[in-house]
Structure 1
Amino acid sequence: MSQKILTGDRPTGSLHLGHYVGSLTQRVALQDTSSQTILIADMQGLTDNGHTPAKVSGNILNVLADYLAVGIDPERTVICLQSGLPALAELTMYYANLVTVSRLQRNPTVKAEIAGKQFGASIPAGFLSYPISQAADITAFRADLVPVGDDQLPMIELTNEVVRKVNQVAGSEVLVECRPLLSKVSRLPGVDGKAKMSKSLGNAITLGSDDAEIERAVKKMYTDPNHLRIEDPGSVEGNVVFTYLDAFCPDEALVTRLKEDYQRGGLADSKLKCLLTECLQGLLAPIRTRRARFLSDPAGLMAILRTGTEKARAETEETARKVKAAFGLDFFS
């Protein structure tokens, strides 16, 4: 297991189908071939929830249960809590002195999120600088591979800039650069057709959704607004239902035939939505059952999180010690 992988999520709500198809299945596979750490990034969750911290603290165990329910094994993957690793905050402080405000403001991912959250001039300092915190997370574990969506590529670029600057200050290779691992499936749109499925936008199907919630969500999905009658030819491009069928229907040949029928005309949107509903209900039913079982034992979940965090602490503290020395601040070492 030569590859070291770091991945994670902000615990601001339960994980959803976008997480599942974009990264969770990938993480399950990677734990057999790599040394993988999953970080529950609760401190980063506060960057836009500082005044409503219960939204973060109240979802930590939900996210952990989501991981376990999809097949993440804490015996093969270290699962740890960001706030339980003080070295990450220390590294963030060091790195903040190497990154300019203008560099953060140019980050396209941050710019898009600031616009989407409509902060205006009231941008929390923590939110503007959270890419520095992500760089601290990645480098603390000396991760050389980071599973991300394409919208997170600017974060990897900034992390490697920090690595090079620290190494320049140190005069040696204290930190290692990382590379992104993109998922095979592109970013999943929300059920409302918006570009991204998001908990904050309310357009997500969570892993804990029951059958009725799934059915309601699928009924709301956009198809082709010009497909007014069954016999009308319909468009597949931009059709959210087909996007989801591509991602979740195991019968690829069936989806291909349905696309052809839809484009010719004669296939009802309701038939497509019925098929998608059945696919998603079949996928999420066992996950939902396992998730509920894990959540029924909060002490067991906390034990898993405590064990993983303790494993991660020594590794992150060693990285912080080296960076501290690079800045000449290791007086008491």
Structure 2
Amino acid sequence: MSAVESQQRVLSGMRPTGKLHLGHYHGVLKNWVELQHDFECFFFVADWHALTTHYEDPHIIEQSVWEMVIDWIAAGVNPGAATMFIQSKVPEHAELHLLLSMMTPLGWLERVPTYKDQQDKLKEKELSTYGFLGYPLLQSADILIYRAGQVPVGADQVAHVEMTREIARRFNHLYGKDLGFEEQAEIAIKKMGKKNAKVYRTLRKRFLEQGDDEALETARALIREQQNVTLGDRERLFGYIEGGGKVILPEPQPLLTPSAKMPGLDGQKMSKSYGNTIGIREDADSVVKKIRTMQTDPQRVRLTDPGDPDKCPVWQLHEVYSDSGTKQWVQEGCRSAGIGCLDCKKPVIDAILEEQRPIHERAKQYEENPELVRSIIAEGVETARDAAKATLEEVKRAMGLSYR
């Protein structure tokens, strides 16, 4: 796979540690549904990652895997447009993780922001384990095994992608220079033709001597346009611009997702650890009950008391679900005591039930026929393994582990 093609491939995963809720839908799944139309998408169930924090209670993982895949499909992820698979069914992830661990400095793992942060937040769990320390490297292996060029993340996860870029850069530096690399790169330049070769050399010089990033991007675009160079030569030309070797593992870019802070029933961020969630496929009666019993502005004791929407968790749900007209109605009606709290909650209830309606409809056939889900995953695993094996073969060849 070329560096150009890798830019069209997206990789993202989700840990199966319980039922998915509307926070997952608004924060991740709606974005996946959009991405599948524009990119080659690989979406995986990160069951090994779940074990890093739930190794003492693995039955939660097993119970959650299939339900989570149904949630994905119900949310609109199309098995015909995206590859869905289970991480542990593609052992190449683990083998690449092992190989990368041989050349990854320990300090890189210890400085990952979420390493100390998660240990502080999850003090009830024993996380002084090798697996927990190494999970950022496993994340890097997840990305690099598919040579994914784009990784959809929130701002708090950018550091993980940056570490993956550093690992790819280090790997390419250590193992990308096969014997006679410079000579082969020079031969490849000549294949571009005199005019293009001259432009390439000028751009390369500008980048290496002046650090001109614009020259680097222009040179990359020039390589992409070449019709008469082989895939191998193209990769050498990409690596040679930066003074390095062949690009075996392309550096991924973070694809920043719009921050969608889905409020929970108590006004905090929706999270199962707070017990304030509404499930993606929760039944209508339960949704209605949860919202009708939500706490409102504590100062509004009686119907005749004016309220302040800014102090009410229900208003935060209006921010997500209501149009400008409804929001104005809430602001005026609440502050003047012109509407009651149950009146205020009704548009939110209606909007959530309407959002869930197509989700329930899409989920129905998979809930009734679990074998459909298993066949989708089996097909996805096959596709994922083909891609992963191709990468691993090249990695092992570069590291001198391809014995013939």
TM-score, scaled relative to structure 1: 0.88
User: 2-side partners of 1:241 and 1:159: how far apart?
Assistant: 40
User: 2-side partners of 1:227 and 1:100: how far apart?
Assistant: 57
User: 2-side partners of 1:12 and 1:169: how far apart?
Assistant: 37
SS where residue 187 of structure 1 aligns?
A: coil
Deviation at residue 254 of structure 1 after TM alignment: 2.0
Deviation at residue 162 of structure 1 after TM alignment: 1.4
Q: 1:177 matched to which residue of 2?
A: 251
User: 2-side partners of 1:137 and 1:320: how far apart?
Assistant: 12
User: 2-side partners of 1:185 and 1:253: how far apart?
Assistant: 24
Deviation at residue 329 of structure 1 after TM alignment: 3.6
Within the alignment, does 1:212 sit opposite 2:285 as a pair?
yes
User: 2-side partners of 1:264 and 1:8: how far apart?
Assistant: 47
Q: Is the 8 A contact 1:185 1:247 kept in 2?
A: no
Q: Is the 8 A contact 1:149 1:186 kept in 2?
A: no
Q: 1:193 matched to which residue of 2?
A: 267
- Count of matched residue pairs: 329
User: CA-to-partner distance for each residue in 1:17-36, whole Å, 9 max, x for gaps?
Assistant: 11111121121122121111
Q: How does 1:144-155 map to 2 (within 5 A)?
A: 144-155=149-160
Q: Determine which of 7, 13, 37 is the counterpart of 2:18.
A: 13
User: 2-side partners of 1:157 and 1:203: how far apart?
Assistant: 33
Q: Determine which of 97, 113, 116 is the counterpart of 1:92.
A: 97
SS where residue 78 of structure 1 aligns?
A: strand
User: 1-side partners of 2:28 and 2:12: how far apart?
Assistant: 9
Deviation at residue 267 of structure 1 after TM alignment: 4.8
Deviation at residue 75 of structure 1 after TM alignment: 1.0
Q: Which is worse superposed, 19-28 or 96-105? A: 96-105
Deviation at residue 48 of structure 1 after TM alignment: 1.5
Q: 1:288 matched to which residue of 2?
A: 360
User: 2-side partners of 1:292 and 1:187: how far apart?
Assistant: 28
Within the alignment, does 1:62 sit opposite 2:133 as a pair?
no
Q: Determine which of 299, 303, 314 is the counterpart of 1:241.
A: 314
SS where residue 84 of structure 2 aligns?
A: strand
Within the alignment, does 1:304 sit opposite 2:376 as a pair?
yes
The runs of 5 or more residues in structure 1 that have no matched partner are none
Q: Is the 8 A contact 2:11 2:41 kept in 1?
A: yes
Q: Is the 8 A contact 2:92 2:388 kept in 1?
A: yes
Deviation at residue 188 of structure 1 after TM alignment: 1.9
Code of the aligned partner of 2:286:
E
Q: Which is worse superposed, 96-105 or 199-208? A: 96-105
Distance 1:203 1:33, change over 3 A: same
Deviation at residue 243 of structure 1 after TM alignment: 2.7
Q: How does 1:108-147 map to 2 (within 5 A)?
A: 108-119=113-124, 122-147=127-152
Q: How does 1:307-318 map to 2 (within 5 A)?
A: 307-318=379-390
Q: Which is worse superposed, 68-77 or 169-178? A: 169-178
User: 1-side partners of 2:300 and 2:22: how far apart?
Assistant: 26
Within the alignment, does 1:330 sit opposite 2:401 as a pair?
yes
Q: 1:35 matched to which residue of 2?
A: 40
The runs of 5 or more residues in structure 2 that have no matched partner are 177-244
Root-mean-square deviation (Å): 2.5
Q: Which is worse superposed, 251-260 or 289-298? A: 251-260
User: 1-side partners of 2:159 and 2:371: how far apart?
Assistant: 38
SS where residue 78 of structure 2 aligns?
A: coil
User: Who wins on radius of gyration, i.e. which is larger?
Assistant: 2
From the two aligned structures, give the one with the greater helix fraction. 2
SS where residue 129 of structure 1 aligns?
A: helix
User: 2-side partners of 1:76 and 1:18: how far apart?
Assistant: 23
Q: Determine which of 385, 389, 393 is the counterpart of 1:321.
A: 393
Q: 2:109 matched to which residue of 1?
A: 104
Q: Which is worse superposed, 76-85 or 108-117? A: 108-117
TM-score, scaled relative to structure 2: 0.74
Distance 1:120 1:62, change over 3 A: closer
Q: Is the 8 A contact 1:191 1:220 kept in 2?
A: no
Distance 1:318 1:15, change over 3 A: same
User: 2-side partners of 1:108 and 1:189: how far apart?
Assistant: 24
